[in-house]
Amino acid sequence: MVDESLVKLSLEAGRYRGELVAPHDTGIEAVHHGRVVAAARLTRTAEDAERVFVSVDLPSEILSDGVQVVALRSTVTGAVLDRITLLAGDALDEDLRAEVGLLRAELEMLKRAFRQHVSAQSE
């Protein structure tokens, strides 16, 4: 079985674009506060059947004051493959929870990068 990985290519005008390497039956869903808010559109390439371009339109309902984290997870394994962190509002200046949320998101990204590095070194 091929490991799943999702690499962000861009986030522009509310649309996340990425590149997914995963088995054929893998889908991606966007989760906010434990609720699925969007499903990704997947476009497979003819050259490499395991490489897929991902596009997710973020709904406006998730935009509000504070820190909003949207997890992009596999529909097969449930693993979170990437996170989108949105910051908005004046309350952020003094909000310790916002800082902790950012630190968690960064730590998860570092853990994922470290795991990819270790697996690449062992190959």
Mean pLDDT of 3-8: 90
Considering its fold, how many domains does the chain have in total? 1
pTM of the model: 0.70
Mean pLDDT of 32-53: 86
What pLDDT is attached to residue 28? 94
CB contact set of 76 (below 8 Å; sequence gap of 6+): 4, 22, 23, 25, 26, 27
Name which of 2, 26, 3, 10 is nearest 84 in CA terms: 10
Per-residue pLDDT band for 2 (boundaries 50, 70, 90) equals low
Condensed to tens digits (0 to 9), the pLDDT of residues 61-82 reads 999 888 899 999 999 888 999 9
Domain holding 108, by residue range, is: 5-122
- Domain of residue 89, CATH code: 2.60.40
Condensed to tens digits (0 to 9), the pLDDT of residues 93-108 reads 666 677 788 899 899 9
